[in-house]
A and B are shown apart, each in its own frame.
Chain A
Amino acid sequence: MSVRKVLLSRDLIDAIAGPHSASHRQAAALYATLLETYATGSDLLFALSTDLDHFDKATRRALFASVVIAHVSRQHRSNARKVDAAYAPETALALVIIAAEKITAVAALGDQFDAFDLEIIKPLQSQ
């Protein structure tokens, strides 16, 4: 039952779903490795409902079929507004969900979560 809970950050989700994104290849490669660990039962993948809402149902059910949707409530938004203004609102909201769901790892392209005591999973840069 020791399953790692991994949150997919918004920048990663957008790059996965956007084939024309500059980071798509790296993001897709990282997502593929996470899907493999999900299939073996080692990882549980999460995404915020607000990060998936702008995709159509078919995309959510196919591309993000393995992802558990962490529903963002009014209470979560209210808590996010109380987080230090130094953090972007979407990062603050993600932090609130990370705390609520006891998530221990974040897969991200950017460095927005690097300052936190979390396992940060990033794609390796091509050389």
Chain B
Amino acid sequence: MPETNADSAALAAESLSAPARLAVTSVVPSDRWRFARRISIGLYVVGYVWWFVANGLIIDRISVAISVGLFIAIGHLGRPLRRWAWLIFDVLCYCVMWLAYEQTRGGADRAGFPLQVEAPRNIDRFLFFGADPSVWMQRHFYEAQSIHWYDNVASATYFSHFIFPVIALAALWVISHRQWARFMKRFATLLFVACTMFVLLPTVPPWMAADPKHDYDILPHLARHTGRGFSSMGLKGFVNKWNTALDWGNAIAAMPSLHASFALFVPAFFLPLIKPKWLKALVLTFPLIMAASLVYFGEHYVIDALVGWAIVGASFLFWGWFERRQRRVRAARALATLSLGSSA
């Protein structure tokens, strides 16, 4: 490092690289619980896959919470008590977040804000030069009598929504609490904005707008066939009766699309870890496939997905800015205290 004068030499830092050095792990006793954790996680994965094949993909919130809780407990075997205390606090925050989300989502249709029926359809028509994307896709690709490969892909992508973010969240919980907190701040913001929109802008999805039972009659008939491709592969979803008893679902919570949001959120969070550009591009095709699947199934308008992606982008931008600012403020505070101490 260049030295301009004695003062700057004293201020500068240098990195030493001494020869033939010991690995820290060769001196520190190895974690005797690591083996137990790895074996237990392996058994858990086997059990999870068995359950998936035998009973179906766990998709109801309570069963998901139980399966995640079990995984995290296994991942924390042998960890210090403080980590367990954090875990309990985290789990409580997580449960409050989901409870608030479910309550808001379920209660949105009772809040009395005007129902959006034609507006999203009109926006889609504007974006696609007068065409209805769901209707167009079903006319060109959907066949009631046969299931094509793209039905399987679309259906599997649709169902990945129920496990994809949960796996990311659970893995981060076990691997790095710091990264989990970064993930959760962005995720909770997304859910908060989405829930606010569900209340303020209750929106009818395309399948409902096309269903004669609901009398909206603004789109030609659309088939709602989300599970068809999934079941044709011999797979099914697992919903325990306790979840159906809760009845918190809301069919008119279509704007924004959380399926589309989550499909972008998880890859976007891990994108900085991926080095090859081609792999980054490949990963980013996932949200596009999800959006196309949602439109194909008549579950969402294109605008629902676009708004969902915009909220994800805004959440990442906000927290990125906030964390940078927080670092600068903390460093400035420390520097100011340091100068005061030095001049005293």
Residues of A within 8 A of B (CB): 1, 16-17, 19, 24-26, 28-36, 38-41, 59, 62-66, 68, 71, 73-76, 79, 82-84, 87, 95-96, 98-99, 105, 107, 114-127
Contacts and interface: CB of A to CB of B under 8 A. Distances in A.
Contact of A116 (B11, B23, B29): B23
Contacts of A19: 341-342, 344
A126 B16 contact: no
B27 A34 contact: no
A38 to B, nearest CB: 5
B10 A117 contact: no
Interface residues of B, number: 43
B11 A32 contact: yes
B64 to A, nearest CB: 27
A36 B21 CA distance: 29
Interface string B173-208: 000001000000000000000000000000000000
B179 to A, nearest CB: 8
A63 B342 CA distance: 12
A48 to B, nearest CB: 14
B29 A82 contact: yes
Contacts of B1: 124
A111 B26 CA distance: 19
A116 B24 contact: yes
B49 interface: no
A73 B104 CA distance: 40
Given A73-B81, A117-B22, A122-B13, A63 B28 contact: no
A41 B25 contact: no
Given A114-B16, A119-B15, A64 B334 contact: yes
B24 A98 contact: yes
A62 B272 contact: no
Given A116-B23, A124-B9, A99 B15 contact: no
B277 interface: no
Interface string B94-135: 000000000000000000000000000000000000000000
30 contacts: A19-B341, A28-B338, A28-B341, A29-B12, A32-B335, A35-B335, A38-B327, A38-B331, A39-B331, A40-B327, A41-B327, A62-B334, A63-B337, A66-B327, A68-B178, A71-B82, A99-B25, A114-B16, A115-B18, A116-B23, A117-B23, A117-B24, A120-B15, A120-B16, A122-B13, A122-B14, A123-B13, A124-B1, A126-B6, A127-B9
B224 interface: no
Nearest to B176: A102
Given A41-B324, A76-B80, A116 B22 contact: yes
A107 B14 CA distance: 10
B213 interface: no
Contacts of B341: 17, 19, 28, 63
A107 B337 CA distance: 20
A95 B239 CA distance: 48
Contacts of A121: 13-15
A73 B332 CA distance: 31
Contacts of B247: none
Given A39-B328, A64-B334, A76-B80, A115 B9 contact: no
A120 to B, nearest CB: 4
Contacts of A79: 28-29
Nearest to A87: B27
B273 interface: yes
A66 B15 contact: no
